[in-house]
């Protein structure tokens, strides 16, 4: 900070905070895409086929994610079910 900045009470911008925020957003995204194991698309297809034996659903109604957290990997499976008798969309989530 130079003398003039100090005189007018101007604070230098804290760029480190911005660096941290950008990294958090970017890595949350990259961890699910680039680190996904190679078998994920195939597993998704097979899960879809099993569900289709019982319930008619679309391909994009099944979401499979693998996430690394401290020490463990979490497999997240979300299945959106078609309109049930209650008239609302039901969803089945296993994690």
Partner 1 sequence: MSKVIVVTSGKGGVGKTTSAAAIATGLAMRGHKTVVIDFDVGLRNLDLIMGCERRVVFDFINVINDGVRLNQALIKDKRVENLSILPTSQTKDKEALKQEGVQKVLDELKGEFDYIICDSPAGIERGAMMSLYFADEAIIVTNPEVSSVRDSDRILGILNSKSRRAELGLEAVKQHLLVTRYDAERVNKGEMLKLDDIVEILAIPVLGVIPQCSSVLSASNVGMPVILDEKSKASDAYKDAVSRLLGEEVDLRFLQPEKKSFFERLFRRSA
State the Cα–Cα distance between residues 2 and 30, nearest whole angstrom. Answer: 39
Contacts with partner 1 by CB under 8 A lie at 2, 12-17, 19-20, 22-24, 26-27, 30-31, 34-35, 37, 68-71, 73
- Of 24, 16, 32, which is closest to residue 68 (Cα–Cα)? 32
- CB 20, min distance to partner 1, A: 5
What minimum distance in Å lies between the beta carbon of 82 and partner 1?
34
78 bridge partner residues = 63, 93
Q: To the nearest whole angstrom, how small is the minimum distance from the Cβ of residue 16 to partner 1?
A: 5
Tokens of 66: 């693998």
Instruction: Rank residues 4 and 50 by Cβ distance to partner 1 and give the closer one.
Output: 4
């Amino acid at each position: 900070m130079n003398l003039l900045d100090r005189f007018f009470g101007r604070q230098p911008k804290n760029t480190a905070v911005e660096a941290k925020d950008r990294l958090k957003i970017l890595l949350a995204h990259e961890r699910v895409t680039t680190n996904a194991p190679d078998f994920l698309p195939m597993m998704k297809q097979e899960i879809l086929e099993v569900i289709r034996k019982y319930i008619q659903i679309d391909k994009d109604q099944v979401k499979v994610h693998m996430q690394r957290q401290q020490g463990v990997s979490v497999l997240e499976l979300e299945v959106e079910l078609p309109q049930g008798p209650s008239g609302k969309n039901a969803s089945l989530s296993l994690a």
